[in-house]
Amino acid sequence: MLTKEENDLLTQTDAGTPGGILLRSFWQPAALSEELPFDSAPIRIRIFGEDLVLFRDDAGSPGLLGLHCPHRAADLSYGRCEDGGLRCLYHGWLFDAAGNCTEQPGEPAESDFKTKVKQTAYPCKEQAGLIFTYMGQGEPPLLPAYPALQAGDGQWFVTKFFQECNYLQGNEGNLDPEHLSFLHRAFINDPRANADLVKGGEASFDMLLGKDKAPVIEIEETNYGLRIFTTRNAEEGETFLRLTNYVFPNMNAFPGGVGGTPADQGHGMHWHVPIDDTHHWKYQLTTVWAGSLDKTKLNAGNVGDLKPDYHLHRNTENRFLQNRGEMKDTTFAGMGFNIQVHDVWATAGEGPIQDRTTEHLGYTDKVITAARRQLLDAVRTVQEGGEPKYVARDAGSNSFGHMVSFNEVGPKSTDWHSLWQERIPK
Ligand code: FES
Ligand SMILES: [Fe+2]
């Protein structure tokens, strides 16, 4: 449970709010690269309550500017990408990606008026199919070297999902190991291509989650947030470990969902980025460490569910097309097999901004409690004018090779707390 003041601190992300300053201290995904192909129209985006335009200059580099032209506020997302920047349709002013006004064709030739005009601009970087931006103050930190962002071509798959609620409840959904024993359960093997098998394909990961509904949950602090050990009883004498991570401040990393041995499972990340305080994007990045990733197979779970605008067909308007017949013998929730649908249902149902003054947290919510503590500590640092912990500004602090995720079944005698060190990809 949080006080109202604490809940506000963690859920309000507009410019100038402590929570907003905190999240802006980190590089954040602004869009998928596929939304902005080379030579395409600029796109209008909204992030942290700010309306912006994302474009590629004629060299292909992304730029992110305030949506409204600083001349007389025309919408720059209709502009022309030319001459090294974005040109406003109304009177032809040209802006580069740094927000400099480089041309004002109608002003007298001797005028230096353009040097007095600066458009809002945020730096961008592109990696693993994502266009990142830094909206914080001062010099940007390093783009974090999370393992999932280091995958080579052919080793990542990325998409996103619209969520009609505050970013924090989306992210807290990932920090809740217990819901996997219920919400996402299926009573039959997932007929789609990405059924998640463990232990050489003998048992489905989902079956093991349903077998023991009272896991032991342990956490340890790391230089990126929290490492989360969730152990459940498996077959006689065996334990099932799911190792996941809270990645500060609005991400998590978990097994990639491609099945197989721990080394084959790859890595997944969910990154919850506010559009404003009551809507956010959940970016989903899946990578493998070696070989190439079958994107068609991995995306099979979304086909038919995700619309071209990255909104799910199933939503609150149609009550997620819940099917009571399906609940008898096929899925626990009656909303199909796509876990993204289930998660959207769970988190949107908590309200636009969850009222955390009335909740009752139990043992299984211990990761959420610990993550909130880290967030509140960082908010206080920000309120005192400092930079939050975990912002990486040198190679030493930008080292995350020890962030691993996997599902593994083994003898109860296994030292589950040190096993992850052996699972770091070579
Ligand atoms: S409003 Fe953009 S150039 Fe005039
Ligand atoms: Fe979930």
| Per-residue pLDDT reduced to its tens digit, 267-285 | 899 999 999 999 999 999 9
Please state the separation of Cα 29 from the chain's center in Å.
Answer: 8
Interval 168-177 mean pLDDT: 97
What's the CA-to-centroid distance between 89 and ligand 1, angstroms? 7
Read off the pLDDT of each residue in 14-40 and give the average, rounded to a whole number: 97
**Is the beta carbon of 43 within 6 A of some atom in ligand 1?**
no
Q: Is the pLDDT of residue 222 over 60?
A: yes
Distance of CA 101 to the CA centre of its chain: 33
DSSP label of 363: G
What residues are paired with 382 via a beta bridge? none
Q: What is the per-residue pLDDT for 88?
A: 98
Query: What confidence category does residue 213 fall into, taking pLDDT thresholds of 50, 70 and 90?
Result: very high
Give the per-residue pLDDT at 323: 97
| Nearest-ligand number for the alpha carbon of 119 | 1
- Tally the C-alpha atoms within 13 A of residue 297's C-alpha that lie toward its C-beta: 12
**Nearest ligand to the CA atom of 65:** 1
Q: How far is the CA of 68 from the centre of ligand 1 (A)?
A: 9
Per-residue confidence (pLDDT) for residue 425, from 0 to 100: 80
Interatomic CA distance for residues 286 and 341, integer angstroms: 17
- If one residue of 65, 68, 72 were mutated to test the ligand 1 pocket, choosing by the most ligand atoms within 8 A of its CB, it would be 72
- Within 10 angstroms of residue 315's Cβ, the number of other Cβ atoms is 17
Q: Is the CB of 95 under 6 A from ligand 1?
A: no
Atom of ligand 1 nearest to the CA of 91: 3
φ, ψ for residue 411, nearest 5 deg = -60, 150
Is residue 291 pLDDT above 60, yes or no? yes
> Which of 230, 247, 236 has its CA nearest to residue 406?
230
> Whose Cα sits closest to atom 1 in ligand 1?
72
For residue 3, pLDDT over 90 is answered with: yes
Top mutation candidate among 67, 88, 103, 117 for ligand 1, by most atoms within 8 Å of CB: 88
Q: How confident is the model at residue 202 (pLDDT cuts 50, 70, 90)?
A: low
Distance 92 CA to ligand 1 centre (A): 6
Residue 293 has pLDDT above 90, yes or no: no
Section 290-298 average pLDDT: 77
Ligand nearest to the CA of 343: 2
Q: What's the gap in Å between 61 CA and the centre of ligand 1? A: 23
List where CATH 3.90.380 sits in the chain: 147-422
Q: How would residue 259 be classed by pLDDT, with cut points 50, 70 and 90?
A: low
CB 405 within 8 A of CB 231: no
Above 50 in pLDDT, residue 21? yes
**Shortest-distance ligand to the CA of residue 178:** 2
Q: What is the pLDDT of residue 194?
A: 46
What pTM does this model have? 0.94
Residues 6+ apart with CB under 8 A from 45: 30, 31, 51, 52, 53, 54, 64
Please compute the mean of the pLDDT values over residues 140-168 and round it to a whole number: 94
Q: Which of 149-158, 336-345, 361-370, 386-395 has the lowest mean pLDDT?
A: 149-158
The confidence score (pLDDT) of residue 367 equals 98
CB 208 within 8 A of CB 215: no
Give the pLDDT confidence score for residue 258 in this predicted structure: 67
Q: What is the 3-state secondary structure (H, E, C) of 82-119?
A: ECCEEECCCCCCEECCCCEEEECCCCCCCCCHHHHCEC
Question: pLDDT tier at 203 (50, 70, 90 boundaries)?
Answer: low
Lowest mean pLDDT among 134-143, 160-169, 243-252, 403-412: 403-412
Per-residue confidence at 153, pLDDT binned at 50, 70, 90?
confident
CATH 2.102.10.10 residue ranges of the chain are 32-133
Query: To the nearest whole number, what is the mean pLDDT of the chain?
Result: 92
Secondary element (H or E) of residue 22 = helix 18-24
Q: Which residue has the tokens 């109202």?
A: 4
CB-based contact 197:207 (threshold 8 Å): no
Confidence band, pLDDT 50/70/90 cuts, at residue 295: confident
Decide: 182 in ligand 1 pocket, CB within 6 A: no
For position 161, what pLDDT does the model report?
Answer: 97
Correct CATH for 32-133 of 2.102.10.10, 1.10.132.20, 1.10.10.60, 2.60.40.10: 2.102.10.10
Q: Ligand 1 center to residue 30 CA distance, Å?
A: 25
| pLDDT at 411 > cutoff 60 | yes
Ligand 1 atom having least distance to the Cα of 88: 2
CA 42 to mean position of chain CA atoms: 23
**CA angle in degrees (0–180, nearest 5) for 384-7-361:** 125
Phi-psi region of 418 (alpha: psi -120 to 50; beta: other; left: phi over 0): alpha
Mean pLDDT of 120-132: 97
Tokens of 75: 């919408």
Q: What pLDDT is attached to residue 193?
A: 43
**Arithmetic mean of pLDDT, 331-346:** 95
**Fold type of domain 147-422:** Naphthalene 1,2-dioxygenase Alpha Subunit; Chain A, domain 1 (3.90.380)
DSSP conformational letter for 306: B
State the burial class of residue 310 (Cβ atoms within 10 Å of its Cβ: 0-12, 13-18, 19+).
middle
Written as one letter, the residue type at 379 is V
136 in Cβ contact with 24 (< 8 Å)? yes
Residue 243 has pLDDT above 90, yes or no: yes
CA of 91 to the centre of ligand 1 (A): 5
**Ligand located closest to 89 CA:** 1
Inter-residue contact 389 to 397 (CB < 8 Å): no
- On the question of pLDDT at 71 being above 50, the answer is yes
The atom number, within ligand 1, closest to the CA of 72 reads 1
Is 394's pLDDT higher than 90? Answer: yes
Q: Check if 69 has its Cβ closer than 6 Å to any atom of ligand 1.
A: yes
Encoded amino acid at 277, one letter: D
CA distance 185 to 192: 14
- Number of the ligand 1 atom closest to the C-alpha atom of 76: 2
Q: Which amino acid residue places its CA nearest to atom 4 of ligand 1?
A: 91
In ligand 1, which atom is closest to the CA atom of 104?
Answer: 3
Q: Which spans in 80-239 are helix H?
A: 167-174, 205-211
Cα 96 to middle of ligand 1, angstroms? 15
The mean pLDDT of 210-220, rounded to a whole number, is: 95
Residue 20 CA to ligand 1 center (angstroms) comes to 30
